[in-house]
Amino acid sequence: MDLLQKNKINLRPFTKWTGGKRQLLPHIQYLMPEKYNHFFEPFIGGGALFFELAPQKAVINDFNSELINCYRQMKDNPEQLIELLTNHQRENSKEYYLDLRSSDRDGRIDKMSEVERAARIMYMLRVDFNGLYRVNSKNQFNVPYGRYKNPKIVDKELIESISEYLNNNSIKIMSGDFEKAVKEAQDGDFVYFDPPYIPLSETSAFTSYTHEGFSYEDQVRLRDCFKQLDSKGVFVMLSNSSSPLAEELYKDFNIHKIEATRTNGAKSSSRGKITEIIVTNYGN
Residues 262-270, mean pLDDT to the nearest whole number: 53
**Other Cβ atoms within 10 Å of 94 Cβ, number:** 12
Question: pLDDT, tens digit, for every residue of 1-38?
Answer: 455 554 555 799 999 888 778 889 999 999 999 999 99
210 — pLDDT class (breaks 50, 70, 90): very low
CA atoms within 13 A on the CB side of 5: 2
Lowest mean pLDDT among 38-52, 54-68, 146-160, 191-205: 191-205
Nearest-angstrom CA–CA distance, 52 and 11: 7
Q: Which amino acid is at 237?
A: M
Could you tell me which residue, 111 or 148, shows the higher pLDDT? 111
Residues 203-229, mean pLDDT to the nearest whole number: 77
The strand order across the sheet containing 254-262 reads 170-175, 57-62, 39-41, 190-193, 235-241, 272-280, 254-262
pLDDT over 60 at 256, yes or no? yes
pTM of structure: 0.90
Question: pLDDT, tens digit, for every residue of 101-145?
Answer: 999 999 999 999 999 999 999 999 999 999 999 999 899 999 999
pLDDT over 90 at 220, yes or no? yes
Parallel, antiparallel, or unpaired: how do β-strands 272-280 and 235-241 relate? Answer: antiparallel
Report the b/e string of 173-198 with b at 16+ CB within 10 A.
bbbeebeebbeebeeebbbbbbbbbb
Residues 229-239, mean pLDDT to the nearest whole number: 98
* DSSP character string of 225-279: HHHHHHHTT-EEEEEEE--HHHHHHTTTSEEEEEEEEE---SSGGG-EEEEEEEE
Nearest-angstrom CA–CA distance, 49 and 20: 9
Tell me the angle at which helices 78-91 and 94-101 cross, rounded to the nearest 10 degrees.
130
How confident is the model at residue 212, as a pLDDT?
54
Tell me the angle at which helices 78-91 and 156-168 cross, rounded to the nearest 10 degrees.
160
**Are 206 and 245 in contact, with CB atoms under 8 Å apart?**
no
**Are 22 and 13 in contact, with CB atoms under 8 Å apart?**
yes
**Are 81 and 92 in contact, with CB atoms under 8 Å apart?**
no
**Are 77 and 189 in contact, with CB atoms under 8 Å apart?**
no
203 — pLDDT class (breaks 50, 70, 90): very low
CA angle centred on 69, ends 144 and 239, rounded to 5°:
75
Query: Could you tell me what percent of the chain has a pLDDT over 90?
Result: 78
Of 14-18, 246-250, 269-273, give the range with the top mean pLDDT.
Answer: 246-250
How confident is the model at residue 19, as a pLDDT?
76
Q: Which domains does the chain have, with CATH numbers?
A: 2-65+169-280 (3.40.50.150), 71-156 (1.10.1020.10)
